[in-house]
Amino acid sequence: MSYATLKHYIDGQWVEPTGGREQDVVNPATNQPIGRLGLASRADLDKAIAAAERGFRQWRSVSAFERGKILRKAAELVRARAEEIATILTQEQGKVIAEARLEVLSAADIIDWFAGEGQRAYGRLIPARADGVRNMVILEPIGPVAGFAPWNFPVTQAVRKIAAALAAGCSIILKCPEETPGSPIGLVGCFHDAGVPAGVINLVYGVPAEISEYLIPHPSIRKVSFTGSVSVGKHLNALAASHMKRATMELGGHAPVLVFDDADVAHAAKLMAAFKYRNAGQVCVSPTRFFVHEKVYDNFVADFTGIASGLKVGAGLDPTTNMGPLANPRRVNAMEAFVADAEEKGARIATGGSRVGNEGNFFQPTVLTDIPENARVLSEEPFGPLALMLRFKDTDEVLSRANALPFGLASYAFTKNGNTATKVADALESGMVTINHFGIALPETPFGGVKDSGFGHEGGIEGLQVYMQAKFVSHMG
Ligand code: NAD
């Protein structure tokens, strides 16, 4: 099966990077190379920066109405090419093809949302103290953006940055993941064909640290948006701060799930097992620490484990597969190390716990119980198919355990009691809380974390605001 043509996109052209450095792109289901990707040199980045400067000057003067029309056309092209882009995504990232299709289609919805929201980026009038004075707050696009998107959702993580930046009137240089370059190329092709002018979007690949260390301090870049790990995010945010650049940081999580004794336990187990093993658990909002009330613990764990052990692990292009491989061998090694550490300290494996086969990066959907407090996996983000079962008795006690980690991205709760739901929603230290269903990560709702999980939002009106700056104008006469 053919894969993608791998090129960079600079100043409206598909180009080979200069400098001669290349690396393999590997299919995680086989660990066999499927493509060669060129890596950007300093000269390529300089071209992208100059193009983004020109692109910004042109794009900011296009009306929000016209920008919206071009973005909507790009969304239509994404829908029309969904099958092609989804196939590339599964080949390079591993996720099952049904999830890849959903990811690509949701990218089109994200573009549509921002296309409309750009037209509603209103400023405001402030009552003046004197006759004939107009006090205005005008929202302006902040300028050329440097975006860094990761490999777990190569299409939606890229489109959240592109669509919001473009709707606000910014240009963007996006460094997409070297491990999964083909699907972002397919996505950017839709913007190109929809008529986005040259220089407004630039897509590069390279050595991540080299690119971020060059772009972030560069005077042309006015805003940084990074999605990835907490450690890299802290480093890039410090760099952005030292150059007075605004930043959005979408970092890791270690999501708690609170299942109370009055919850619909079967529903909670079914829903959470489906989301736990989606994308093989490589999701920043993946439900991870399951705090289950002791009265319903055995039922919940039995239901959840039954579902986990019944999932078929295999290549993502096989339509009968429920969970694909992990995206790279690093993640399989990390899962083995987490499980070995927990087991050594006394944890029990209810199901899974091992890699599958000798080819590809397959790991079993895993449920751990009786996990001691000092197991590493209870404090470090697993970012893989590990579900951690923990008992609780008391609401205040479980809230303080749920809030004990430095992460604060997503939290989940299941209860039929309205007072408990309100208390939990108020007390959980996380950017997003969803109760009795999975209700986060829609284009129209703000997505973002608190504490070490970062700051700023992608999605919702907040997702547009981070690409704009307020200018106050007072005018007399
Ligand atoms: P990593 O920390 O090496 O890389 C994470 C991402 O950051 C990758 O996309 C990488 O290309 C990029 N990156 C790394 N160093 C960079 C730098 N100096 N400048 C710019 N970009 C840089 O880890 P990894 O092994 O690739 O991924 C595993 C960890 O990353 C997970 O534990 C998880 O916490 C995190 N992660 C989070 C998300 C998310 O959605 N928040 C997505 C992917 C990975």
Asked if the model's pLDDT at residue 210 lies above 90, the reply is: yes
- What is the average pLDDT across 395-418? 98
Structure tokens at 427: 């007390």
Phi and psi of 458, rounded to 5°?
A: -125, 125
- What is the average pLDDT across 443-463? 98
Q: How far is the CA of 232 from the centre of ligand 1 (A)?
A: 7
Task: Give me the residue spans of the domains in the chain.
Answer: 8-251+454-476, 255-442
Cβ-contact 411, 402 below 8 angstroms: yes
How far apart CA 276 and CA 366 sit, in angstroms, is 10
CA distances from 364 to 289, 301, 385 (A): 18, 17, 7
Backbone φ/ψ region at 342: left (φ over 0), alpha (ψ -120 to 50), beta:
alpha
Which residue from 37, 155, 232, 376 has its CB within 8 A of the most atoms of ligand 1, so it is best to mutate?
232
Cβ-contact 435, 412 below 8 angstroms: yes
Q: What does CATH list as the number for 8-251+454-476?
A: 3.40.605.10
Contact residues for 23 (Cβ-Cβ < 8 A; gap 6+): 36, 37, 39, 178
How far apart CA 13 and CA 9 sit, in angstroms, is 6
Q: What is the pLDDT of residues 83-110, one digit of tens each?
A: 999 999 999 999 999 999 999 999 999 9
pLDDT of residue 340: 98
Ligand 1 site residues (CB inside 6 A) read: 148, 150-152, 177, 208-209, 212, 227-229, 232, 236, 250-252, 284, 330, 381, 383
Q: What is the pLDDT of residues 12-27, one digit of tens each?
A: 999 999 999 999 999 9
- What is the average pLDDT across 260-265? 98
* Equal CATH topology for 8-251+454-476 and 255-442: no
Total-model pTM: 0.98
How far apart CA 229 and CA 424 sit, in angstroms, is 27
- What is the average pLDDT across 292-318? 98
pLDDT of residue 436: 98
pLDDT of residue 114: 98
Predicted confidence band of residue 382 (pLDDT cuts 50, 70, 90): very high
Host H or E run for residue 399: helix 395-402
Backbone φ/ψ region at 317: left (φ over 0), alpha (ψ -120 to 50), beta:
alpha
Among 329, 272, 287, 311, which Cα is nearest to 94's? 329
pLDDT of residue 1: 77
Structure tokens at 85: 């882009």
Q: How far is the CA of 6 from the centre of ligand 1 (A)?
A: 21
CA-409 nearest atom, ligand 1: 41
Whose alpha carbon is nearest atom 13 of ligand 1? 208
Structure tokens at 35: 């493509």
Q: Which amino acids are annotated catalytic?
A: 250, 284
Domain 255-442 of CATH type 3.40.50.300:
no
Q: How far is the CA of 28 from the centre of ligand 1 (A)?
A: 17
- Arithmetic mean of pLDDT over the chain: 98
